[in-house]
Structure 1
Amino acid sequence: MSLTTSQRTEQEVSAVQTIANADVLDQLLKPEVQEALSVLVDQLPKLAEMMALLTKTYDLAQKVANDRVLIQDMVGGIQEVVKPLEEKVKGYASAAIEANERAEQSDATIGLFGMLKLLKDPELQKMLRFGQAYLDILGERKNNQD
């Protein structure tokens, strides 16, 4: 009596499953695998709790990622913060470029009396106060770290 193709296929699948089951059983009989499984079983409540938290986080991330109104509001909020900063940075950059150009064009020597005259300039005083305050703060933070 000859076997049909489907019967041969079923026998081959059954043989492969038997070999796979034997491999799994061999693995399960190893002491290190049994110990690892024991630790894993002990940690299952924590793993279940972590998976629940991850699932909630994933769901929230999906909702946020798919919420077009929220995304547009966030982009708008970021732009509201960045735009004034961008204008200030452009102003400072253009002032720095212009100051560099003036300094390169000028051959004037600034002597001791010129420096004393500059010390009376309100903008220089403001910058010196800022520099002093900045250095004081850095010193305080360094002392607090030590």
Structure 2
Amino acid sequence: MSETTQTIPRESIDVLDQLMKPEVQQSLTVLVENLPKLAELVTILTKTYDVVQNVVTDQVLIEDIKGGMEEFVKPIQEGAKGIASAAIEANDRVQTAQTASIGLFGMLRMLKDPQVQKALQLSQAFLDVLAERRSQKEQH
């Protein structure tokens, strides 16, 4: 027996010792019972990996996605730039204007402006929505 022990590498003995433990044997039994499911899962993961790998390495597809995103983002970006430039211009006008304040008659004239009317309607609708949501929360 001592000759056999000497010819078997130490790593093999360690593995055999591990295999003799009941918890390792139980784990191996579970693995063997679930091999069909594990094989199916590995197959699905392999196919998914292949698809992802093809997508990631397809320069034409990447350029198409990039172009589509740019077409989607560009109008939003231009709109934001337009709003920002209008806000800057309005601020500049207020800063350079030497008028002291807007009086009652000035406010009445402003109320006739269609843009002011839209802003007031939007503000009123926004406040109505907030009030409705608040009352719905209170009812629950």
| 1:31-110 → structure 2 map (5 Å cutoff) | 31-106=22-97, 108-110=100-102
The CA distance in 2 between the partners of 1:138 and 1:26, in whole Å, is 72
Three-state SS of the structure 1 residue aligned to 2:9 is: helix
The CA distance in 2 between the partners of 1:118 and 1:90, in whole Å, is 26
Q: Which residue of 2 aligns with 1:127?
A: 119
Cα distance change, pair 54–141 in 1 and its aligned pair in 2 (3 A): farther
TM-score normalised to structure 1 length? 0.69
Three-state SS of the structure 2 residue aligned to 1:109 is: coil
Cα RMSD (Å) of the superposition?
Answer: 3.1
Identical residues among aligned pairs (%): 54
Segment drifting more, 106-115 vs 117-126: 106-115
Q: Deviations over 1:27-54 (max 9, x none)?
A: 1222222232233333333322221111
The CA distance in 1 between the partners of 2:49 and 2:131, in whole Å, is 41
Which consecutive unaligned segments of at least 5 residues does structure 1 have?
1-13
Q: How many residues are aligned here?
A: 131
The CA distance in 2 between the partners of 1:121 and 1:51, in whole Å, is 68
Which consecutive unaligned segments of at least 5 residues does structure 2 have?
1-5
The CA distance in 1 between the partners of 2:66 and 2:35, in whole Å, is 41
Find runs of 4+ consecutive structure 1 residues off by over 6 angstroms.
none
Q: Which residue of 2 aligns with 1:7?
A: none
